[in-house]
Structure 1
Amino acid sequence: MLKVASYNIHKAVGTDRRRNPGRIIEVLNEINADIITLQEADRRFGARAAAIPSLLLEQYSDYRAIPLDVQTDSMGWHGNAILAHKSARIVAHDVFHIPYLEPRGAVMAQIEVHGLDLTIFGMHLDLSGLWRRRQAAAIVKLAQQHGQDRSTILMGDLNEWSASGGCLNDFGRVYNLVECGRSFHSRGPIASLDRIMHCDQLKVIEGGVHDSASARKASDHLPVWAQFSKA
């Protein structure tokens, strides 16, 4: 059984407008997934330092951030990061430029966990529907190239308010979308902005939104999660 999750942590700024990375770690531990993609994982200005200090993550969670070797103080790439359980083996990782109106990127890691060889993509797509579709097409192409011999999972904040159209159509032609539920806004979820998608080599067992008291305070998004087995 494999459990993955995706979480827009809003730079660790909670719904009370306070920056508190400890609350994010509390939620990560509640989720208890094998792999988690993060969005808005770095500060927006200056050196774009990680929103969760690496020492804090190491000491108080079972996760490690996959080193993307891009920016010294950052956890991610354009705010996208991938966390893996410390028991997982990291085989490879990379970052990708994608078409953008405002700077965006995607991150990828090849990970071995629970006997599964996985390719994981993390993303945070544009607010513009046109650019979202261009980004989706680019990411699908990249995922097909890097996931040929591995089970592939794509996760992130798609910024897609449509229930089935827009970039969901582009991803849906190749990958299966997990029905997780509404994740935004955390105080009263009205939209399924955060999504998990997978290839046919995996069978989804269950998916959902992690809606806890801690999660409702830690960020303006709730995490989404999914459990898989081999198809």
Structure 2
Amino acid sequence: MSHRALKVASYNIHACLGTDARYDPPRVARVLAELNCDVLGLQEVDDRCPPQDGLRQFRYFQAMTGMTAIDGPAIHDDRGCYGNALLTRLAVRQARRLDLSHRAREPRGAIDAVLQGPTGPIRVLVTHLGLHPRERGEQIRTLIDALNGTDGFPRDLPTLLIGDMNEYLPTGPRIRELKARFAAGFHRGTWPAFWPCLPLDRIYSDPAPRRAAFRIHRTPTARRASDHLPAKLTLGW
């Protein structure tokens, strides 16, 4: 890869609760340092002031990485909030939160941002889709409508969709919709971390990268830090 390559990852941090049942934000921070990415899409970031230490995870990971953080909470209660985060070394030009909540299901959302990439602006979406197939179908259509919309966000930029899609089958109506919108998709088994056989965490790109290297981050620390392994893509358009 050239020096103009972009490094991105999707990582469900499971609120920093590891496979050893230990709550350990510094361990997750070490995994983020190992990844050494320009853009990190995180899911299950818990900012609800855990009683163990009162740590706010959104701000903690911003401080530990030195990256710009965009919060994308989907759940709000009297303890704080919980949801997605986008961490980036790139300049942020625009950002908004999309509501993907489905009736009678856990609230869900997405971060939609325009960043200054190595060769120009890029659009990055970070999300965590729901557990029910019909719910995910509606959420994917909402994301595609946002990408195709005319509401002030540029439509014709190189675009990445990063997240825990909660889809594990190689084919199906929801995967077909994503494949129809994105020129390339990258996925391998990321869950459960101790035996990663289900490709829940995925990265989609449009247009297809001219150069791409995709891998699952399987270090000893990553195997313990969360029940998901991070998925990392190094690409150049």
Pick aligned residue for 1:112 from 110, 116, 119 = 116
Letter in 2 for 1:54: R
Report if the CA contact (8 A) 1:180-1:226 is conserved. Answer: no
Aligned position for 1:137: 141
Unaligned runs of 5+ in 1: none
Letter in 1 for 2:188: G
Report if the CA contact (8 A) 2:49-2:55 is conserved. Answer: no
Q: TM-score, length-normalised on structure 2?
A: 0.84
CA deviations 1:16-45 (Å, max 9, x no partner) are 111111011100111111001100012568
2:185 pairs with 1:183: no
**Using a 3 Å threshold, how does the CA distance of structure 1 residues 77 and 226 change in structure 2: closer, same or farther?**
farther
2:48 pairs with 1:41: no
Report if the CA contact (8 A) 1:37-1:83 is conserved. Answer: yes
**Using a 3 Å threshold, how does the CA distance of structure 1 residues 37 and 212 change in structure 2: closer, same or farther?**
same
2:13 pairs with 1:6: no
Report if the CA contact (8 A) 1:204-1:226 is conserved. Answer: no
Report % sequence identity: 30
Unaligned runs of 5+ in 2: none
Report if the CA contact (8 A) 2:186-2:204 is conserved. Answer: no
Distance 2:82 2:191 in 1: 21
Aligned position for 1:173: 180
Distance 1:176 1:36 in 2: 21
Aligned position for 1:89: 91
SS in 2 for 1:79: strand
SS in 2 for 1:23: helix
Aligned position for 1:98: 100
Shift of 1:180: 3.2
Report if the CA contact (8 A) 2:12-2:226 is conserved. Answer: yes
Q: TM-score, length-normalised on structure 1?
A: 0.87
Distance 1:189 1:168 in 2: 20
2:228 pairs with 1:226: no
Letter in 2 for 1:90: V
**Using a 3 Å threshold, how does the CA distance of structure 1 residues 112 and 170 change in structure 2: closer, same or farther?**
same
2:57 pairs with 1:52: yes
Pick aligned residue for 2:155 from 144, 148, 153 = 148
**Using a 3 Å threshold, how does the CA distance of structure 1 residues 112 and 141 change in structure 2: closer, same or farther?**
same
Report if the CA contact (8 A) 1:78-1:103 is conserved. Answer: no
Distance 1:142 1:77 in 2: 24
Shift of 1:176: 3.1
